[in-house]
Amino acid sequence: MQLDSHRPEESVPYVIVVGSEKGGTGKSTTAIHLAVALMKLGFRVGTIDLDARQGTLSAFFRNRAAQAERSGRPLELSKHRAIVRSGAGDPAAAEADEAGRLQDAFDDLADCHFIVIDTPGSDSYLCRIGHNRADTLITPLNDSFLDIEVLAHINRERREVEAPSVYSQLVWEQNNQRVVAGRPPIDWVVLRNRLAHLEARNMREIQALLSLLAKRIGFRLAPGISERVVFREMFMQGMTALDLPETGGGQGEIASHAAARREVQELLQAIGLFEAAPA
């Protein structure tokens, strides 16, 4: 893959934020795989952990650095920053402090092609100003009606959107602020994650609802990511399916790893910055 020609060659990093107001939907997993995939394409990548208390993204890159050191294997490493919440008692002072911390991180990562930001599964000032930086926002969603509530309150029987969710409003607000400031709007991409073999009728119903919501709420749907052991099993080694050799292991394993790599590449393509490199 190569950087698509329609991307203006700017000197500022392109920012991909992974966010959702729900915990455990695959935000950190998505951020990890995107960052590694971009580095494997030869880009300089900065990563920012706005969920520093949990610290999943930070732990992954710590594990990866240790693995590279132990094995002598040259694993790509991002320029990583973790931002902890301010301890200031006064809310205005805390916000100013956190805005300053985020700006410092951006200044440190100014020479990167991409910045990938992982966010916590709950609303906070840091989470909101993180969303404000998104050129692309990726919201992973598990395949259930409960998860769709992250986007909007829906009436399942009547297939109607009753009201946007608090999270959709957060994204709209940040988007408006960007547009007012003369910056490009957020390209919001919803990603179905951990796709499993759901009952076909259920799956069709979720797909139909998401297509309806995409128009109403203003996001695009990316091809999904399946439930695969390889997406979680190598976390402690700081590795991903993208780091595995194309051969080795059983036939089933090879096929599953190849499929995992394909899914991550399709996500990159869906973001719209890339086109397949000519063969």
Ligand X SMILES: Nc1ncnc2c1ncn2[C@@H]1O[C@H](COP(=O)(O)OP(=O)(O)OP(=O)(O)O)[C@@H](O)[C@H]1O
Binding interface with ligand X (CB under 6 A)? 23-29, 51, 54, 56, 121, 193-194, 225, 227-228, 231-232
Distance CA 115, CA 10 (A): 14
Name which of Mg ion, ligand X, none residue 225 binds, using a CB cut-off of 5 to 8 Å depending on partner kind.
ligand X
Member of 44, 56, 207, 270 binding Mg ion (CB under 5 A) = 56
User: DSSP E strands: which ranges in 2-129?
Assistant: 2-3, 14-18, 45-49, 79-82, 114-118
Q: What phi, psi does 41 have (nearest 5°)?
A: -85, 0
Q: Measured from the CB atom, is 147 or 161 closer to ligand X?
A: 147
150: which 2 tokens?
């992250």
Q: Nearest-CB residue to Mg ion?
A: 28
Name which of Mg ion, ligand X, none residue 184 binds, using a CB cut-off of 5 to 8 Å depending on partner kind.
none
Contact 118, 18 (CB under 8 A): yes
Q: Which stretch binds Mg ion (CB under 5 A): 26-34, 73-81, 129-137, 152-160?
A: 26-34
CA distances from 220 to 47, 190, 210, 240 (A): 24, 6, 9, 26
Cβ within 8 Å of residue 92, ≥6 positions away: none
Write down the least CB distance from residue 235 to ligand X, Å: 6
Residue 124 in contact with Mg ion, rule: CB under 5 A: no
Q: For tokens 């971009």, what's the residue?
A: 38
Write down the least CB distance from residue 226 to ligand X, Å: 6
25: which 2 tokens?
């939907």
Q: For tokens 């769709």, what's the residue?
A: 148
Residue 28 in contact with Mg ion, rule: CB under 5 A: yes
R_g over Cα of the chain: 19
Write down the least CB distance from residue 96 to Mg ion, Å: 26
Q: Measured from the CB atom, is 57 or 102 closer to ligand X?
A: 57
Interface map 159-198 toward Mg ion (x if CB under 5 A): ----------------------------------------
- Which residues sit at the interface with Mg ion, rule CB under 5 A? 27-28, 56
